[in-house]
A and B are shown apart, each in its own frame.
Chain A
Amino acid sequence: QKEVEQDPGPLSVPEGAIVSLNCTYSNSAFQYFMWYRQYSRKGPELLMYTYSSGNKEDGRFTAQVDKSSKYISLFIRDSQPSDSATYLCAMSLSGNTGKLIFGQGTTLQVKP
C-alpha cells in the first residue's frame, strides 16, 4: 500500500465547474500538507500549504485537511481552461524537514 493515494484520473469538467481533488494517506504522523500544480513539461508549482488540520483559502482555491480521516482535499471554484494540469498532493512529517511524500497526481482537464 502506498503512503499517499491519489486517483490519477483523468478528470474532465466544463468551464465554471467546482472541482474536487482528493488524497488519502496512511501515516498519521504527517503534519504538513501541500498541493502542487504541474503543467505539461514544467516543474511542480506550489499552490497551497497547510499545517495540521483545517481549511485554507486562496482566491479560487481551498485546501482542506481532515487528519482524523487521513484525507485532504483541494477545491477549485469557477474552474478555467488554464487550470488544466496535473495536481499533486504532498505531505511531510513534523520535524522531518525536507522529505515530501507525493501522491501520483490527478490530471484535470477543464473544457471551454
Chain B
Amino acid sequence: SAVISQKPSRDICQRGTSLTIQCQVDSQVTMMFWYRQQPGQSLTLIATANQGSEATYESGFVIDKFPISRPNLTFSTLTVSNMSPEDSSIYLCSVELLSSYNEQFFGPGTRLTVL
C-alpha cells in the first residue's frame, strides 16, 4: 500500500466560501480520484484527477463547483467552491498504485461542515 495524507483533516466553513483540500501520496501512482461521502450515504466518485490536464467529472459534478488540479503524479487538490450546507460531507482522495492494478487505496478523508 502507500501513505496517503490529506489536509486539512477537518474544517468548518461559512456558506459562500471555498475550501481547497490537498492529497499527497508517498508512492508512485497511476491514477488519483476524489470521492464524497455524505452523512449516512455511501461513497460517490466526484472525478478522476488527470495529471497535466482537466479532470474527468462524473455525472452530477461540474468543474465550476469542484475544480481539481493534479500538477504531478503524487499530488492533487480538490476545491469545494461557493459552499452551501449541502456540501457538508467527507471528501476522500484515493489512488491506484503502479504496483496494484485496479486496487484503490483511500486517504483519511477531510470532514467538512458548512454553516
Interface residue total, chain A, C-beta cutoff 8 A: 23
Does B58 have its Cβ within 8 Å of any Cβ on chain A? yes
What are 8 residue pairs bridging A and B, where the CB atoms are less than 8 Å apart in the complex?
A: A34-B104, A41-B111, A44-B43, A88-B42, A90-B43, A98-B31, A98-B48, A102-B43
Contact with B along A28-41 (1 / 0, CB 8 A): 00001010100001
Instruction: Give min CB distance, B5 to chain A, whole Å.
Output: 11
Does B13 have its Cβ within 8 Å of any Cβ on chain A? no
Instruction: Report A's interface with B, CB cutoff 8 A.
Output: 4, 6, 32, 34, 36, 41-46, 49, 88, 90, 92, 97-100, 102-105
A49 surroundings in chain B (CB, below 8 A): 102-103
Nearest 6 A-B pairs (CB), nearest first?
A: A43-B106, A102-B42, A102-B43, A43-B108, A104-B42, A44-B106
| Residue from the list B101, B102, B109 in contact with A43, Cβ < 8 A | B109
Instruction: Give min CB distance, A21 to chain B, whole Å.
Output: 14
Does B78 have its Cβ within 8 Å of any Cβ on chain A? no
A92 surroundings in chain B (CB, below 8 A): 102
Interface residue total, chain B, C-beta cutoff 8 A: 23
Residues of chain B from 14 to 33 with CB closer than 8 A to chain A in the complex = 31, 33
A100 surroundings in chain B (CB, below 8 A): 43, 45, 104
B4 surroundings in chain A (CB, below 8 A): 43
Instruction: Give min CB distance, A89 to chain B, whole Å.
Output: 9
Q: Known interface pairs A42-B109, A43-B107. Does A105 touch B42 (Cβ–Cβ under 8 Å)?
A: yes
Among the interface residues B1, B104, B106, which one has the most CB atoms of the partner chain A within 10 A? B104
Cβ–Cβ contact B96 & A98, under 8 A: yes
> CB-nearest residue of chain A relative to B10?
A41
Cβ–Cβ contact A46 & B58, under 8 A: no
Does B92 have its Cβ within 8 Å of any Cβ on chain A? yes
Instruction: Give min CB distance, A106 to chain B, whole Å.
Output: 11
Q: Known interface pairs A97-B96, A102-B43. Does A46 touch B102 (Cβ–Cβ under 8 Å)?
A: no
| Residue from the list B92, B102, B105, B106 in contact with A97, Cβ < 8 A | B102
Does B72 have its Cβ within 8 Å of any Cβ on chain A? no
Cβ–Cβ contact B106 & A104, under 8 A: no
Q: Known interface pairs A88-B43, A102-B42, A103-B42. Does A43 touch B33 (Cβ–Cβ under 8 Å)?
A: no
